[in-house]
Amino acid sequence: MLKRLALGLLTAWAAAGFLYEVNAAVAGYDGRADAIGGVPWRLGAPEPVAVERCVGAARETIPPGSAVAFTSPGDDPDHPDAAFKRWRWAAYLLPEDDVLQASDPSAARLAGYAIACGTAIHDPRVEPIQRLPDGWLYRVTRP
């Protein structure tokens, strides 16, 4: 009797796991996974692709080994850490450069360039160099 009960529970557990995985695969295939909350920060997702377009265009102008300040809008109440994730994606996409957050106090002292994705910088210490897809590339000047 116990063997049949254990075998039945194991079969039910395996069937539930299989159905869960099939549902997740189908949801990822037909787009339901993106509609069910959260921002998917994976390659090919809309948010990283937008950062890649912006940073990729700036990468051609910035010399390797430069310190770069990065900024993007951060006032999304649904995703408060979205600006942090955009900064991390920018650092991933610019591996030959030191990417700093523009809000970092040392960025004004160290950065030679600044990238603003989805926003603009209004500061007398920066001069615009190039219009990027959905952003700007700036040269940081020292007073």
Phi, psi for 37 (deg, rounded to 5): 65, 160
Q: What is the pLDDT along the chain (143 residues), one digit of tens a residue?
A: 888 999 999 999 999 999 888 887 777 666 665 554 555 677 777 788 888 998 988 888 999 999 999 998 875 556 667 888 888 999 999 999 999 998 888 888 899 999 999 888 888 888 999 898 888 999 998 76
Question: For residue 119, what is the DSSP state?
Answer: S
Q: Which stretches of 1-143 are DSSP H helices?
A: 2-30, 32-35, 46-59, 82-93, 107-110
Nearest to 118 by CA among 94, 82, 88: 82
Coil, strand or helix at 142: coil
